[in-house]
A and B are shown apart, each in its own frame.
Chain A
C-alpha cells in the first residue's frame, strides 16, 4: 500500500515546490469560495450584504494564518524556509554584532578547548598502543615493602621463563646506551640489551636479517646488534648490504644481524628510564654471565598473556614460582611479583591529570552553553514584540521555533568553525606545554574524528541553547505583547526567574573552576618554594660514557676524570665542576642493601639499605648540595688511600647509638680491617622528585674507590658563562682528550628541575586558563541579565527619579539585585567546589582540598567580578530620563 501512494505524494510535493504561485492562487481561490458560501448563508438569515460579509469574515478568522498553516502542511516549507530562515538569521545576527561576537567567541573558546583536551586524551588514553594485541601485554616487576616496583634479577627471570604457563611469551630488557664511533661524529645511541623473544612479545619482526635467539644469550658468543630503521638510514645510508657489516660500539666491533622496520616503539622501562615511544636506536642481546647472582635487579620484564589469562592469575602463578625460588636461593627471599597491564603502566600516571582537565573543560563547555542560552534568552525577550508581529502576520508556532533554532545553529556552526581552528592551535600548544616525560606525547594530533567531535558538540550546543529561547519566544502572547508595547514587566517574570537561575549557575560553575585553579596554583607555588636540596641556577650538565675497551678499570676512569676536570677548571668564570654517577631528579634508582654498620643493629625484620652513587671532587659544590657536617671528597681520596664514604642526612639516621660522622660501614659479612669504609661527610637530603615526602637513605663512594666499574657519568659545571659557550668548551675539551667520546644530554640543571615541575605547571596553567575563561563567561552572563533588567525598568527608574529618588539609590538597587545572584552562586559554587576538590587528589601538594585561603579568594574574586559586571548597567539606571518617562505615560 505504501508503495503506490508514493508517486502521488511525490507529484504533490513537486507541484508544491515548482508551481508555488499556482498553489498559492488555488489556496486563495479556495478560501474565497468558502467566504462567499459563508456570506450566502448569512444573507439567507436576512442580513444585508455588508453585514453578512463582516460576520463571515469574523467567522473565518485570520486568512493569513490559515494560508501559512496550509503552507506548513505542505512539507516543501522545510526546504524552502530553511534558506529563508538562514538568510533571516544571518541578517538578525549581523544587526547586533556585539551579541553575535560574544556568543561565537565564547562557543569557539569552549569548543576549541574541549577538542584540544579531548584529542590529547584520545592520543594518550584511548588510541591503542602500537603493539600487536597490546591488551595482552603486561609488565612484570618484583616488589617488596621498600621497593614497590622493582626490576627483576636476571637469573630469576630465566627461572620464571622456564617454569611459567601463564605467558605466551616472556622477555626482559635493560637500558644499555652505546657509543657509536667511526661513522661521522661520535654519538651516543639510545640502546637496550634484550633477551631472546623481546621483539616477538611486542609483535615486531626485523625488516632485514634476524631476531635474537636463546643462543645469543650465552656469554662469549661475539658481539652482535640489531639497529633501528633511523640509524640504518642516517648512519648506514640505508644500504641493503648493511647486514653482516661491522660498526664500532663502545670501541668494540659489532656485527649487524638485523634492521628493524620503522615504527618500532619502546614500551617504556623503569630502571634508568627511557620514555615510551620511538626512542631506541640499537638493541644488543642480553647475556647471562653470572649464574649465582640473585641480588642484582636490573631487568625490566614484559610478557604476553595467554588468551583468557588475567594479569591477576599470572601474578598468582608467578608468586608461587617466586616462593619456590626463595626456598632455593637466599637472595630471593622477601620478594613478591607484580604484574600490571602495559597500558596502565604507560598512561597510569597521567590518567588523573587528564581526567581533571576533562572535568574542567566539561564545566567550561556547560558554562558556555548556559551563557549562550542566557544571551539568547535576553535577545528573545527583547524580540518579543517582533515575534508577536510575525505571529500576527501569520507565522506558525513551528516556524517561530525553527527561526530561533536556526539562529542558534548558525551561531553554533560559526563557533565550531572558529573552535576547530583554536583546537588545532590548542593541541600544538598543549603538546608543547606537556611535561617532558609525558607518555605517548608523539601520538597526539588533531584528526578527522576530533573535528567530528567538535561539530557534534557545536550542533548539540546549538540545539540545547536554542530550545529554551525558542519555546519562550514562541509562547509570546500576541495580544499582550502588541498592546503593552513590550514594556510589561509582569509577563516576563517567569523568564527573569529562569535567567536569574542561569546566572546563579554560571557563577557557581566559575567558582568550582576557580577553587580548582586556586588549589593547583597553591600546589605549584608550594612545589616551587620547596627547597630542592641543591641550587640549580647556572649549572650546566652533560653525560659521558667511557667504553670499557679504552677505560678498563676504575683507575683509568678516575684518571680520565681528573684530566678532564683539570682542563675544564681552567675556564675563566667557572666556579666549580665535578663528576658523579647521576644528577638529582633524573630517576636514578640504584640501591644496595645488606651492609653492616659498626656498633649499630638494623631494625627488626629489615636490613640496612640505601641508594648508592659515585661522586668525584667538586661534584657537590657544583650542584650546590650542602655538606652539612664533615667534608666533601677531595684529591686525597685516592684508590690506595683510606676507604671513605659520604652519606646523606636520611642515611645518618641509621646511627642510633654512635655518631654517623666517623662511623664505619662494610658490605662484607666477615670484614677485615680493610673492608670498613669511614663516613667523612654528611650532605643535605635531595628527594627523588620534588613531590616526594622525604629522601631515601643514600651514600656516595669516591670515584677513585668505587667497588665496581662505573662507566657512565654526569658532569656538573657551575659557572657564570653563557650556557652555549660553556657547552662548546666542554665538547672541545672532551674531543681533545678522546675523539671517540660523545658528549650527550647537554642541559642546564634548571631544565632538569623545570622538567620535574612541569606536571604541576601544566595542571595549574590549564585549569587556571579554564577558570579565567569561566570567570569571563560568568561576568558576561551577569552583565547581560543586569543590563536587560535595567533596560526593562528604565521607564520605572525615570518615574522614580521624577518622584525624587536619587541616582545613587537607583544604582544601589540595581547593584544589590546583581549581587544577590552573585552571592547565591558563589555560596553554591563553594559548596560544590568543596565536594569536588578532593578528586584532584594526587595533583595537590602541600594544600588540603578545603583550603580556606583558596575558598576566600575564590569568593572575593567571584563577587568583585560580578559587582564590576553590574556597574555599567547600574550607571545606566542613573541616566534614566524622568521627562521621557512622564511623557510616555
Chain B
C-alpha cells in the first residue's frame, strides 16, 4: 500500500479533483475510483484521503452534501466548485508541464 507521503501532496489533490470532476462522489468511491482507474497502481489510504478532502473543502475547491447511496447508507458526497474547476485546470497544466519535462529528461538525458 502506498503511504500518503509517497504521493506528492499536490498530486493527491489533483487526483481527487479530477475524480470528482464528472460527478459528485463520496470518499470511499473516490478511493476506489483512483485505485481502479490506475490499474491498482495507486492506493489512497483513508489517513491521507480524508485530511485531503477536508483541506480542499476548507480551501473552497470542493463542497459537500449528505446524500443516500444506492446501498441506502448516508454518505458525504463531494463535488467540484467553480474555484475547484479552475484549480483543476491549473494543476492539470502544471502536471502536464512537469511530466513532459520528466519524460524529456528520462528519454534524452
Contact = CB atoms under 8 A, between A and B. Distances in A.
Nearest to B52: A73
Contacts of B95: none
Interface string A31-49: 1011011101000000000
Interface of A: 1, 4-6, 8-9, 12-13, 16, 26-27, 29-31, 33-34, 36-38, 40, 59-62, 65-66, 69-70, 72-75
A307 to B, nearest CB: 55
B73 A74 contact: no
B47 A8 contact: no
Given A8-B81, A29-B74, A73 B58 contact: yes
B21 interface: no
Nearest to A71: B54
Given A33-B73, A74-B54, 11 more contacts: A9-B58, A9-B59, A12-B58, A30-B27, A33-B75, A34-B50, A37-B73, A38-B28, A69-B51, A73-B51, A73-B58
Interface string B17-34: 000000000111000000
Interface in B59-95: 59-60, 63, 66, 71, 73-76, 81-83, 86
B47 A9 contact: no
Nearest to B66: A26
B11 interface: no
A60 B81 contact: no
B62 to A, nearest CB: 10
Interface of B: 26-28, 45-47, 50-52, 54-55, 57-60, 63, 66, 71, 73-76, 81-83, 86
Contacts of B86: 1
Nearest to A1: B86
Contacts of B26: 33
A293 B82 CA distance: 94
B74 A33 contact: yes
Nearest to B63: A8
A257 B26 CA distance: 94
23 contacts: A1-B86, A5-B81, A8-B81, A9-B58, A9-B59, A12-B57, A12-B60, A13-B58, A26-B66, A27-B54, A30-B27, A30-B75, A30-B76, A31-B50, A33-B28, A33-B73, A33-B76, A34-B28, A40-B71, A66-B46, A66-B51, A70-B51, A74-B58
A73 B46 contact: no
Nearest to B84: A5
B75 A31 contact: no
A463 B86 CA distance: 38
A773 B102 CA distance: 58
A59 B52 CA distance: 18
A72 B55 CA distance: 9
Contacts of B71: 40
B48 to A, nearest CB: 9
A62 B28 CA distance: 17
Contact of B54 (A5, A6, A73): A73
A61 B46 CA distance: 8
Contacts of A33: 26-28, 73-76
A844 to B, nearest CB: 59
Given A12-B60, A26-B76, A33-B75, A5 B83 contact: yes
A12 B26 CA distance: 19
Contacts of B58: 9, 12-13, 16, 73-75
B54 A60 contact: no
Nearest to A37: B28
B100 to A, nearest CB: 26
A12 B27 CA distance: 19
B3 to A, nearest CB: 10
A829 to B, nearest CB: 44
B46 A34 contact: yes
Nearest to B73: A33
Contacts of A69: 47, 50-51
A70 B60 contact: no
A9 B26 CA distance: 20
Contact of A70 (B28, B50, B59): B50
B86 to A, nearest CB: 6
A73 B27 contact: no
B60 A9 contact: yes
A30 B73 CA distance: 11
A75 B55 CA distance: 9
A61 B47 contact: yes
B49 to A, nearest CB: 9
A5 B81 CA distance: 9
Nearest to A72: B51
A574 to B, nearest CB: 91
B60 A5 contact: yes
A67 to B, nearest CB: 9
A30 B50 contact: yes
Contacts of A30: 27, 50, 75-76
The 3 closest A-B pairs by CB, nearest first: A69-B51, A73-B54, A73-B55
Contacts of B45: 59, 61
Given A33-B28, A33-B74, A34-B27, A66 B57 contact: no
A240 B38 CA distance: 97
Contacts of B81: 5, 8
Contacts of B28: 33-34, 37-38
A62 B52 CA distance: 16
B25 to A, nearest CB: 12
A62 B59 contact: no
B47 A65 contact: yes
B47 A62 contact: yes
Contacts of A74: 54, 58
Contacts of A1: 83, 86
A268 B9 CA distance: 68
A9 B57 CA distance: 8
Nearest to B56: A73
A16 B60 CA distance: 13
Nearest to A40: B71
A16 B57 CA distance: 11
A36 B86 CA distance: 34
A18 to B, nearest CB: 15
Given A1-B83, A4-B83, A36-B73, A31 B46 contact: yes
A575 B80 CA distance: 105
Contacts of B63: 8
A429 B24 CA distance: 72
Nearest to A63: B46
A60 B46 contact: yes
A5 B57 CA distance: 11
B50 to A, nearest CB: 5
Contacts of A60: 46
A119 B109 CA distance: 61
